[in-house]
Amino acid sequence: MLSNIGIGLIASTLILSFLIIYIAILNLKISRQVIEKNIYKLSLFQTTFTVLSFFVLIIGFISSDFSLINVYENSHTTKPLFYKIAGTWGNHEGSLLLWVNILVIFSYLFLVFSHAHDKKFRLYTLIFQNILILGFLFFLLLNSNPFNSIYPIPLEGLGLNPILQDPALAVHPPLLYVGFVGCSIYFSAAMASLLSDYGGKLFAQSIKNWVKISWCFQTLGIIVGSIWAYYELGWGGFWFWDPVENASLLPWFAITALMHSLIVLEKRDTLYAWVIILCLSTFILSVTGTFLVRSGILNSVHTFASDPSRGLYILFFLSLMIFSALTIFFLKYKKKSYNLNLKSKETFILANNWFMAFFLITVLTGMLYPIFLDVLTNVKISVGPPFFNIVIIPLVVPFMFLMGIGPKFGWIKSKNKILNKFFFVILGAIAINLFIFYFFGKYSLLSNLIFIAAIFLILHSLLDIKKFINNKNKNELPRIISHLGFGLLVFFIGINHQFSFEEDFNLKVGEIKKTNKYQINFKNIEIKDTKNYKAVIGVFKLENLKNNLVQYLNPEIRIYSNPETLTYEAAIKTKITSDLYLTMSNVSRSEYYNIKFQDKPFMIWIWISSIMIAFGGFTRLTFKKNED
């Protein structure tokens, strides 16, 4: 039943996409400056049908309708309702349907909200967006149909992977998809802009809100994924330079560069070609990331059951996208010379872009090199954190200095006077760094530089806040929040990295382990039985030897039944100044447990500052048009 309804809705969407493209092409030839009413209607229908199809799938999951293969493979009657729903996008087919949904919804919203802009530009955008929609709809129908049915109908499902049964992970994919798939709309808009010669300030205005929206969601999505890894994977780390994390960073670097250079295009009407390149590459990088992850070329926690035919289709579509983008770009590209003054805001924004490009290329190289090497020479290597840390971290130092200084400069040209202030702020930053260095511990020269640069950026942002309180210039606020967030993030990551404490040991019930600061007493083991899993819970009494504070930590080993899997839940005690992190794993046929204990300073501040970065973007979104 649901299978037929779902396929019916998808097929209708497909037909509507063809119709929209057809009518839009006809409409292009008419000289009237209005878009035909029918196109709006068709787009609205298209949106309704896709959204409905997604709800049909959700209903399938809620009602545990195992006649759908997708539900059978990824759900189970005993799952809590929340995870039944989240299971809808916790698998390849369902997430692809979500992907199509976002393409379609953004297409409609762009059509509605861009009425102030040129008709030809809007129609071309709509056509390109619908070509993208068609591409993914065919993929969905031919290769990854979430509505495929199974007969005889199984009585019970196979269940959702337990590590995905986590609140953070239920919201992580939708956030990222809005972020990554949202980029599609300015990919289409950039192509349309080239074809309809609708460039410059007006083009910047037409896409800037979409860029901001997708930037905010990407940022938030990446943060949530990182938080999940910290809580769920049980290593106590929050960023692993895992290929899939890298895949999510690539479009993020491109979109962050885009968001900044778009301001230059809007205010100064230069950098048009560069903005177009960034628009195109952001979505191309999103799809490349999807290809690498879904095809199984990269292995990670994100790999769904991999299937080469899936990869082949995405690769085909990706090639089509890249070649048409390149061709149209080269056909329409006109060389323009830029006259940028060294001491102007636009120069600094361009500097930001160069840094972003550098980070992007570094991560891309680290990610692709092992694949290239494997394919061409059959040598397997892994590029890990040392590479990324060595190449990226030193560059963060000048990057943060420029981030502090840049916004102080005016458009076109500035006086030398403002440079004097920087001198005092640097002195302040060096003084604070010396204070930390002297009282809390020694660290390397590079760490010193990182701290100085981070404190420099923080101090600058704080001075900006002071200025903001005086003059209430709202435009500056989002930038201040995000830049302050970034400064704090680097600062706290630095502190966390320098002053973390970690110890590994084996313990059995009743035993006590002393570290330099804590005494860990393994008091007891408790068994908990819930509907979804059984858990072995350790009771650990933790005594701080310095101030005699006693705390209890309860790490769990969970045994999920459907599918049968073990997961290790870390016990985390979060305080304002530090996180205590304890995981235990069983040592089979032994009464000993393997314990990993970590004391991680300022963890919560890493999350707070990274959320601040995203929050800055969200505040910008709340501004009304005329205030922008």
Partner 1 sequence: MKISISRIIIFSFVIFSLFVFWKGLKIDNNYNTKSLIGKRISNFQLIKIDNDNQYISEENLQKNRHTLINFFASWCAPCRTEHKYLLNLSNENKEIQIIGINFKDKKDNAVKFLEELGNPYNFVGKDPGGKISILFGIYGIPESILVNSDLTIIKKIVGPIDQIQYDQILQLIQ
Instruction: Enumerate binding residues for partner 1 (CB under 8 A).
Output: 291-292, 295-297, 299, 306, 308, 311-312, 315, 318-319, 322-323, 326-327, 330-331, 368, 371-372, 374-376, 380-382, 504, 585-590, 592, 594, 596
CB of 230 to partner 1, least distance (A): 19
Residue closest to 146 by CA, chosen among 101, 185, 103: 101
> What is the smallest separation between the CB atom of 331 and partner 1, expressed in angstroms?
5
Measured over the CA atoms of residue 269, residue 109, residue 182 and residue 222, the dihedral's sign is positive
Taking the least distance from each CB to partner 1, the nearer of 55 and 592 is 592
Distance separating alpha carbons of residues 602 and 8, to the nearest angstrom? 52
Terminal C-alpha separation, the chain:
50
| DSSP code per residue over 415-466 | -TTHHHHHHHHHHHHHHHHHHHHHHH----HHHHHHHHHHHHHHHHHHHHHH
What is the nearest approach in angstroms of partner 1 to the Cβ of residue 116? 33
Least distance (Å) from partner 1 to the CB of residue 555? 14
Please report how close the Cβ of residue 566 comes to partner 1 at its closest, in angstroms: 11
CB-based contacts of 423-426 (< 8 A; 24+ apart in sequence): 425/456, 425/459, 425/460, 425/463, 426/452, 426/456
Angle formed by the axes of helices 119-142 and 37-62, nearest 10°: 30
CA distance 273 to 347: 16
Using CA atoms, how far residue 133 sits from 100, 120, 173, 388, 624, in Å, is: 6, 20, 19, 35, 30
> If you ran DSSP here, which 8-state letter would residue 149 be given?
B
Token match 């149209």: residue? 328
**E strand or H helix that includes residue 592:** none
Helices (H), 298-417: 308-332, 345-377, 385-405
Q: Are 496 and 608 in contact (CB under 8 A)?
A: no
For residues 193 and 565, what is the distance between their CA atoms, to the nearest angstrom? 51
Q: Which is nearer to partner 1, 156 or 374 (CB)?
A: 374
Alpha carbon separation from 268 to 133, 212, 239, 403 (Å, rounded): 34, 19, 38, 20
Q: In terms of CB distance, is 540 or 615 closer to partner 1?
A: 540
CB of 503 to partner 1, least distance (A): 11
CA distance 569 to 162: 11
Maximal C-alpha separation, the chain: 85
CB 395 within 8 A of CB 449: no
Q: How far is the CB of 506 from partner 1 (least distance, A)?
A: 8
The CB-of-602 to partner 1 minimum distance in angstroms stands at 26
Least distance between partner 1 and beta carbon 376 (Å): 7
Question: Cα–Cα–Cα angle for 66, 67, 73, nearest 5°?
Answer: 45
Shortest distance, position 470 Cβ to partner 1, whole Å: 49
Report CA 446 to chain centroid distance, whole Å.
28
What is the DSSP track for 3-68? HHHHHHHHHHHHHHHHHHHHHHHHHHHS-SSS--HHHHHHHHHHHHHHHHHHHHHHHHHHTT-TTB
- To the nearest whole angstrom, how small is the minimum distance from the Cβ of residue 505 to partner 1? 9
Q: Which is nearer to partner 1, 137 or 595 (CB)?
A: 595
What minimum distance in Å lies between the beta carbon of 254 and partner 1? 16
